[in-house]
Amino acid sequence: MGRLVLVPTPLGNLEDITLRAIKELKSCDFCLAEDTRTTGKLLHLLNIDASLVSYHMHNEHKMLDRLVERIATSAGHAVLVSDAGTPGISDPGFLLVRACLAAGISVEVLPGPTAFVPALVASGLPCDRFVFEGFLPLKKGRQTRMKELAEEVRTVVFYESPHKLTKTLHELVTYFGPERKASVAREISKLHETHHRGSLAELSAYFSENPPRGEMVVVVSGRS
Ligand code: SAM
């Protein structure tokens, strides 16, 4: 029976790839990739020739049974990667891991890049206990979630896209209060990495004046 290996890939700097990641990518039977062009470029830079299969949020349900069968009957291993970071973290992965485990297929997850860990640790906010919220709901349930999270005593970590950051910070000021400490980590592991730290009111004012670009993680202190 084959096995499934989840391989984290760099968020920015290519040097964040691990030796184990390279080894698993080089020796896999096939590599499931969220965007085969993005992964193709990475593999080209690493001088790896792997057979790529497109696997993303729009086909992951449809492909599941066929993939589990293919992995189960393979003699080697399949790799799952996302565009950047760790598969399964706000990216496809969970469904396949669950289905493989249910079919008795061994699943291995390599440690490696993921955006929320450096954002949390660099925030200077307590990181002994935290809640990872991924992306907030866009509409339905958003207000309820904000209200619930405002009561959370652990540090709260969100993923956010640049064009929604200003609106989200504005809402956080409303629900969490203007004084709550927070941090916005941008472009982690890239040339223009930044970390803005301050109260929610300060961050909201700053990003309203300076519309953000790039990828970002928002970290908010828990209720004291
Ligand atoms: N699987 C990824 C991980 O392990 O972090 C997350 C994928 S999710 C689709 C993309 C979100 O992750 C972005 O919207 C942003 O919030 C965050 N992200 C990814 N790369 C980042 C980076 N270099 N700097 C800051 N945030 C990043």
Domain boundaries, the chain: 3-109, 116-220
Q: What's the distance, CA 156 to chain centroid?
A: 15
pLDDT at 111: 98
pLDDT of residue 141: 94
Pairing label, strands 30-33, 52-54: parallel
Distance CA 23, CA 168 (A): 40
Half-sphere exposure of 144 (CA within 13 A, CB side): 4
Architecture of domain 3-109: 3-Layer(aba) Sandwich (3.40)
pLDDT on residue 187: 98
Q: What is the pLDDT of residue 208?
A: 97
Q: How far is CA 198 from CA 44, 104, 180, in A?
A: 41, 48, 8
Q: Beta strands of 58-209 (E only): which ranges?
A: 77-81, 106-109, 130-135, 155-160, 181-186, 194-199
- Taking CA atoms only, the protein residue closest to ligand 1 atom 25 is 216
**Superfamily for the 116-220 domain:** Tetrapyrrole methylase, C-terminal domain (3.30.950.10)
Rounded distance from Cα 75 to ligand 1 centre (Å): 33
Q: Give the per-residue pLDDT at 205.
A: 98
107 neighbors 6 (Cβ within 8 angstroms)? yes
Atom of ligand 1 nearest to the CA of 161: 14
- Separation of CA 74 and ligand 1 centre (Å): 32
* pLDDT score at 110: 98
Supply the DSSP string of 189-210, one letter for each residue: TSTT-EEEEEEHHHHHHHHHHS
Tokens for 213?
Answer: 């670009």
Judge contact between 89 and 133, C-beta under 8 A: no
List all residues 6 or more positions away from 95 whose beta carbon is below 8 Å from its beta carbon.
60, 61, 64
User: What's the CA-to-centroid distance between 7 and ligand 1, angstroms?
Assistant: 15
This prediction has a pTM of 0.96
What was the pLDDT predicted at 220?
98
For a mutational test of ligand 1's pocket, the pick from 18, 58, 217, 220, i.e. the residue with the most ligand atoms closer than 8 A to its C-beta, is 217
Residues of the chain predicted below pLDDT 70: none
Q: In this predicted structure, what is the pLDDT of residue 162?
A: 96
Q: Which protein residues touch ligand 1 with a CB less than 6 Å away?
A: 11-12, 82, 84-86, 89-91, 114-116, 159-161, 185-190, 215-217
